Amino acid sequence: MASDTLDSYTQRSATETAAAASPPASSSLPIPFDNVVDRRAFYEPAQQEAAPRAAYWHDQFHPRPVTTDVSSSATHPLRTILSPATWPARLRTWLPVKGEHVARVSQLDTDLLDADLLDTLKQQWQEGVRLFKSTLVTRLEPEITALFQLAIYGLTVARSQNATYGAELQNLRYRNEFKHQRNRFVPGNAPLTQGQKILYGTLLVGGQYLWTRTNRHLTDQGWGELPETSPRKKAWQALQFVDKWYHTLSMVNFLAFLYSGRYKSLLTRLLGMRLVYSRPQMQSQVSYEYLNRQMVWYAFTEFLMFILPLVSPRRLKRSLQRGYQRTAERLGLPTSQPDQAQAEAMARIPRGVCVICLGGGPSHTRAVLPITTDPLPEATAARCRVRVPYVTNCGHIFCYVCLVSQMAIDAQDHACLRCGQSVKSMRRLEANEWCD
C-alpha cells in the first residue's frame, strides 16, 4: 500500500510540473521565461543578494531593544547600578551610535553662531551707553550679558522649537536623549521636557552670571591676597579648586565629544540634551565662493602682518618725498624747500629751543612746523627747550632723542630743519659752547 501511495504522489508531481512547464495557450501576457523553474532560478539569487541590505536598513530604523532582568532589578535596585553587567550599557553612551551620526563641526558651529549673535547685541548696547556714561559698560557687563542670554534662550530653546538660532542655521535641534535610551522604539525625536528646559536655562544663564559676579566681587575685595589662615582666603581657594575641576571635566567631556559625536558641553550631557538633525533628508551645502573669498582675505592679511614690520611707514614716506623733490627739481617745478620768509621765521626761534619738539616730534617734517612771524610764546619755548643738547655738523642744536630718532627715520639724507643742510654727524654739546 505504501508503494501505491508513493507512485500516486510521483505521478501527481510529474503532472503538476508538466502543467507548469506548458502555460495555457490562451494567455496573452508575454512571459520572458520558458517555464516556472527558470523564473524561480532568477528570483531566488536576487532575494539572496538583497537580503543583507534589507537586514542592514531594518537594524538602522528598528534597533533591537536592550533586554534586562526586570525581577532582579526590582528586587535589588543597587545590584543593577553596581553590577558589572550594566557597565557596557552605560559606557555605550560615550561611544558613537551607529546610524545616528551628527557632524561634529556643525555642533561646534552652533556655539560660534550663538556667541556672534550675543556679541552683536552687546556691542550695540555698549556703543549706545558709552555716549552717556562709559563706566556703565564695565560695571553692568555681567547683568547685560545675562539679560541678553535670557532673552535669546526664552525666544529659542524655551519655546517649542527646542533649538537656538545657531542650531537652526545648522539644521539641528535638541532632543531628550534619556527617553531614547530608555525606549529605543521612540518615533522621531523626543522633545525636551519642561524640567530640562528650566534647568538648562537656570544653569546656563544664572550659573554663569553668579560665577562671574562672585569672582569679580571677591577679586575687588582682595580675598586672594589675604593670609592663608583667613577664612576668606580658604573660601577663595575653594572656589579656585572648583573652577579647576570644572575646566578639567569640560576638557574630558570635549574629548569624549570628539570621539562619540554627542554632548558638546558638560551641561548638555548632565541633562541629556543631544543635538540631532531637524530634517535628516536635508543636506548641508557649503558655499565655496564665500569659502574661497575668506581664504584669500586670510592669506592677504597674513602677508600684510608679515611684511609690515619689515617696512617703516615713516621711512617710506620720506623716501617718496625725496623722490618727488628730486623729480620736481629736474623738471623745474616748485618744491617744498623753505623760502626766504620761512628761513627768517626759523632764525627768530631761540637757539635753545628744539625745532623738532616744536614741530610735534620726529615724525613731522618742515611743512607742518608751526612757524610764524609772531614771537614764540614763553610757555611753548619752555616746553620745547633742548634736553641733552647735541650739535650737528651745521652748528644747530637739537635734543639727543629727537635728533637720533629723526636720523633713524632718514638715515640716508637727513636735512636740518633750521638750515636745510644735510646732517652727516653730531656730537655732544660742551658746557662752554652753550649759548641761548
Residue 16, domain member (yes or no): no
Residues 121 and 237 both lie in one domain: yes
Q: Containing domain of residue 309, as a range?
A: 289-335
Of the candidates 280, 305, 323, which is a domain's last residue?
A: 280
The whole-angstrom separation of Cα 77 and Cα 69 is: 11
Residues 255 and 194 both lie in one domain: yes
Using an 8 Å Cβ cutoff, are 375 and 348 in contact? yes
Residue 68, domain member (yes or no): no
How many domains does the chain divide into? 3
pTM over 0.95: no
What integer pLDDT is reported at residue 199 of this predicted model?
92
Note the Cα 123 to chain centre separation in Å.
Answer: 17
- The listed range with the strongest mean pLDDT (50-59, 61-70, 332-341) is 50-59
Mean pLDDT along residues 287-311: 84
Residues 108 and 194 both lie in one domain: yes
280 or 18, which is more confident?
A: 280
CATH code, 383: 3.30.40
Residues 119 and 184 both lie in one domain: yes
What's the chain's Rg over C-alpha atoms?
Answer: 43
The whole-angstrom separation of Cα 102 and Cα 257 is: 11
Residue 77, domain member (yes or no): no
Burial class (CB in 10 A: 0-12, 13-18, 19+), 158: middle
Q: Which residue has the cell 550594566?
A: 86
End-to-end CA distance of the chain: 151
Q: Position 71: which residue type?
A: S
Q: Which residues pair with 415 in a beta bridge?
A: 422
| Grid cell in block for residue 221 | 575685595
Q: Please, what is the Cα angle at 126 between 122 and 127, to 5 degrees? A: 120
Residues 144 and 293 both lie in one domain: no
What integer pLDDT is reported at residue 327 of this predicted model?
83
The whole-angstrom separation of Cα 418 and Cα 343 is: 7
Residues 344 and 256 both lie in one domain: no
pLDDT (tens digit per residue) in 134-181: 788 888 889 999 999 999 999 898 887 789 998 988 889 998 888 887
Residue 75, domain member (yes or no): no
Mean pLDDT along residues 243-254: 94
- The listed range with the strongest mean pLDDT (17-26, 52-61, 177-186) is 177-186
Residues 187 and 114 both lie in one domain: yes
What integer pLDDT is reported at residue 356 of this predicted model?
79
DSSP helix/strand/coil, 167: helix
Residues 273 and 298 both lie in one domain: no
Residues 275 and 326 both lie in one domain: no
Residues 207 and 172 both lie in one domain: yes
Phi-psi category of residue 189: left, alpha or beta, with phi > 0 → left and psi -120 to 50 → alpha: beta
Residues 429 and 343 both lie in one domain: yes
Residue of 416, 411, 364 lying closest to 394 (CA atoms): 416
Q: Please, what is the Cα angle at 322 between 317 and 327, to 5 degrees? A: 125
Residue 201, domain member (yes or no): yes
Residue 223, domain member (yes or no): yes
Bridge pairing between strands 389-392 and 426-428: antiparallel
* 344-to-297, 340, 365 alpha-carbon distances in Å: 52, 6, 18
Residues 331 and 350 both lie in one domain: no
DSSP helix/strand/coil, 422: strand
Of the candidates 269, 301, 335, which is a domain's last residue?
A: 335
Residue 51, domain member (yes or no): no
Residue of 155, 161, 165 lying closest to 191 (CA atoms): 161
What integer pLDDT is reported at residue 257 of this predicted model?
92
What integer pLDDT is reported at residue 148 of this predicted model?
94
Of the candidates 313, 335, 357, which is a domain's last residue?
A: 335
131 or 380, which is more confident?
A: 131
Residue 32, domain member (yes or no): no
The whole-angstrom separation of Cα 22 and Cα 29 is: 14
